[in-house]
Structures are given as C-alpha cells and as structure tokens.
Amino acid sequence: MESTVFLIDMQSFYASIEKALQPRFQDRPLVVSGDPERRSGVILAACPLAKSYGIKNAITLREAEERCPGLVVVRPRMALYLQASLRITEILGRFSDLVEPYSIDEQFISIRGCEALFGPPREIARKIQQTIALQLGLHARVGIGPNKVLSKMACDNFAKKSEHGLFELTQDNLKTHLWPLPVEKMFGVGKRMGRHLRRMGITTIGDLARCPLVRLQKRWGVNGHVLWMTANGIDLSPVHPHTFQKQKAIGHQMTLPRDYRTEEEIRVVLLELCEEVCRRTRQQRQVGLTISVGCRGADFDFPTGFHRQYTMPEATNHTMTVFHYAWALFTRFWDGQPIRSLGISLGNLADDQPMQLSLFENDDKKHRLGYVMDKINQRFGPTAILRAASLTRAGQALERAQKIGGHYR
C-alpha cells in the first residue's frame, strides 16, 4: 500500500489565534509584531486582511503601519502559541499515531492504514480541517502527497492558494503542476542556491529534475543528489514522531537590544549564551565537541560578521570551558566593529557518560556543578542563580527569562 502523507499548515498562525480569542478584531487587519521600541519591531504574522494591504512577514512595524493606518498591532504571546501547537498535535493524534511536528505551525502526519477508519485521504484532510476549525477557530491548509517532500511542496505552492486549502501532488501530476514553477519554489532551494542553479541554466524545477544527476553530484556532492531527488518527488524519510529528539547541534542566537561595541559588553552576552546552550545540552544529558560562534555587524548597508567553529580537545557541557573557547574564537575573527547579533552552538554531540577523566583537573566536580545549578533554576525559576556579569547593563539574562523564543510570553 502506497503511503499518504499530509503537511498541515496553519494559516497566519499567530494572527489567527489572536483573532479567534478577540472576535472584535475579526473584520480588521491585524498583525503580531515584536516590541517597536527594541530591535524586535518586525511583523511576525499578518492576517489575510492585513496581507491584502501588502503587509508581509519580516517587514518593519513602521512600514506595515504606513501601508495600513488602521492596523491592529498585537504583541506576541509565545506560550499561548506553543500551547495551541500542542493542541493541534493532539488533534492529529486522533487520526494517526505517526505525527511529526515540523515547526510551530506545520506538522506532518502519515495516514497510511487509517483509511478504513476515516475514509479516503481527501475526506480525512477535510475532517482534520473541520476539527481544528471547530476546536481552535483556526484554518488549516493541507498538502497531500506520497511522501513528506511532495506534501510540503503541495501545501506551500498550491494548497495555500486554493479556496479549500487542499491540494494533492503525486507522481502523476508532478510534471504538469510542479515542474513549470521557478526553481526557487522548490523545497530546499533558497535565494543563493537559486542564483547558482540559474547560472547553470536551470530556471525551473523541471529543468532541475531533468538535469543529469552526475552534473549535480559533481558540483554539490550528496546535496546535489538530494536536490535532484526532491525535484523528481523522491523522499525516503519516514514520518517519525521523535525526529527532533536527536539533534545534531544545540545553539542559541540573540539579536541585541542595541549595538554592542566593546569587548566588556560582548563578553557578558557571550557568557550568557554559553550558559544557555550548556544548560540545554545538560538537559539532554549530552556533551559537545565542536563550538561554533557567529555574529553580525550593526551596519545594515555594509553587512559584516563571521561564523567560525573550533573542535575542542574534549567534549564538554561545562559553561566556563565552552566560554573559554568561544571567547578565543570570537576575538580571533571579530573586526572590532559594533555588532547587532551574536550566537553560539555546540555540535558533535554525544552522551555525557562515560566521561573522560583528567589527571590535572577535577572535571567531575565541574560536571556535577552544572547539573546542580540546573536543578536549582528548574525548581526556583531561571533567574534563581545568575552570574554577576548578568546584573550589569550589558546583561540580558533577566530580560530573556521573561521570553519564549525571543518574544514575551
């Protein structure tokens, strides 16, 4: 029996939740936006009515208000949106036990073997839409395909533009519907990759599908093979509920509330980021071997910055050890110009047991100390124990403790 996979996508997720909870805004253009007084004053979500004024995600709030003077602006409530996402997962779980969250507003579901209970695929899709609309007041778009990649492209390119929010993409209609689209419309192809492909004379998804595989492999190796498979609608990855439980890296990036210009200021934020990344690494009972550090300059007109990594002598999740290597990496590649964002990550993850002992340092004590601090913060709140540097003007730990995903709860 051939598999059938849905990609369930929520229309204007954040904005739709706010409208569902505040009926007085139903007929008004509404956007969810970060704090305009800080650097987070950009549009995170816009309802369909707001989009009719030309408002798109990621534009500034000021620009959105210029396009639509009567715009309703709501600040994000991330805890509420996460709760709604979990509710959607629970609803999908009534139809199949194979549900894989892809993002906060997108989820894959395999309905193979469920037809006897709920009917053919399109009927199941409509039932899912009706259930979500009835219980949450949200409109779901459903891309249908024999695998994840086709269901994703069916949703992004067709279901979102369909009146009923449904579209099925199969090997039978692949050439007539998907192949004529610009190559940038294919899943996995961004602006930069699109430019590379166009220089090779590949302008549509069909061109990419018909391109000799050897040519793509010679240029991009395994990634070239994946591009060719995607264009031809081939995807062997199963829908798995625990896909994201095995991370390749754990990282955290922060857009700063103002330009950070001095080493003293940047050290504070970098230490806080190391603390956060190591806490999350310890939470998964893992250690990391490779540290990555990146930053972006403050000048939008002349972008600067870097992203570099270093393999440490031993895998660790100890904050100060990670900070030692992260700071060395930062000072080596920083050009001395003001920065507006900073991020680090730990890669090459492995289980934290067994641990390599040292003859010269008490690594076991440092190892246990991190876990004790985590338990205290877990019990009494994320700011129960803070490093003194976080109490300075440059510190952001207290501010971040009030947020989820960079936005207020």
Annotated binding site: 9, 105
Positions marked active-site: 106
d(Cα 35, Cα 77) in Å, to the nearest integer?
12
d(Cα 305, Cα 260) in Å, to the nearest integer?
13
> How many angstroms separate the Cα of 277 from the Cα of each of 168, 302, 330, 347?
40, 30, 16, 11
d(Cα 200, Cα 188) in Å, to the nearest integer?
17
| b/e sequence 200-239, b meaning 16+ C-beta within 10 Å | eebebbbbbbebeeeebeeeeeeebebbbbbbbbbbeeeb
CA 37 to the chain's CA centroid: 24
Angle at alpha carbon of residue 285, lines to 281 and 286, rounded to 5°:
60
Binding-site annotation: residue ranges for Mg(2+): 9, 105
Amino acid at 6: F
Q: Which of 156, 199, 202 is nearest to 178 (CA)?
A: 156
User: Reduced to 3 states, what is the DSSP secondary structure of residue 289?
Assistant: strand
Q: Which of 260, 246, 406, 252 is nearest to 326 (CA)?
A: 252
Alpha helices in 45-164 (DSSP H): 48-51, 61-67, 78-92, 115-118, 121-136, 148-157
* Cis peptide preceding 354, ω within 30 of 0: yes
Q: Which of 23, 13, 17 is nearest to 44 (CA)?
A: 13
